[in-house]
Amino acid sequence: MEGYRLPLHATHPITHSPLNVFVSNYVLADYGAGAVMGVPAHNKLDGAFASKYGLSSPCVIDPQTQCLTLSGRYNGMTIEEAVTTILKEASNEGWGQAVTRYRLRDWLVSRQRYWGAPVPAIHCPHCGVVPVPYEDLPVRLPPMTAKETNKMAGDDAVSPLGRKLDLWRMILRLYNMETDCLSSLWSSCRTGL
């Protein structure tokens, strides 16, 4: 991780103290545009960056009580209380507001493997990709041996299920079943698939 200190300062939105401004290559690209304020005592990457560049790293959340410390008038508040109070002040004073942003992240929806929940989709030559009919749910994986499932997509770029497509079709009585699986994250989300 590298950083370059810019010859300017930002003003802390609450304490009004000056803050150093760096350009760095470690902030996640999909985090968004604009400035990101580091919290070195409470984030490992920010902490490593602060350590490398000799920046202060005050711990503003007591690890035992989970209440704010070194935070002026917010000392003793829980994180939730402080967030609510600060957002209200920001809105009333006109320097900020609460915003909910939704980001679509790669959840590894489709994996070329055998284990995992089957994707309930059919590749129909006439209709395109369509959902498996309700009466054919739940979709279950066909039985395969460990030797068949150990190899992920091979040189032929075909998943273990794709290598058993005839068996897959026979079990489901469907034409060209999707051969990729959902990741375990989908299964843990209880999306109803």
pLDDT digits (tens, 9 = 90+) for 77-133: 999 999 999 999 999 999 889 888 766 555 556 666 677 777 788 887 788 888 888
pLDDT given for residue 124 in this prediction: 79
Q: Are 139 and 118 in contact (CB under 8 A)?
A: yes
What are the tokens at 139?
A: 């979709």
pLDDT band, residue 193 (cuts 50/70/90): very low
Predicted confidence (pLDDT) at residue 14 exceeds the cutoff of 60: yes
> How many alpha carbons fall within 13 Å on the CB side of residue 98?
8
- The secondary structure element, H or E, covering residue 129 is strand 128-131
**Prior bond of 7 cis (ω within 30°):** no
Whole-structure pTM value: 0.50
Angle, CA 189 vertex, CA 146 and CA 180 arms, to 5°? 40
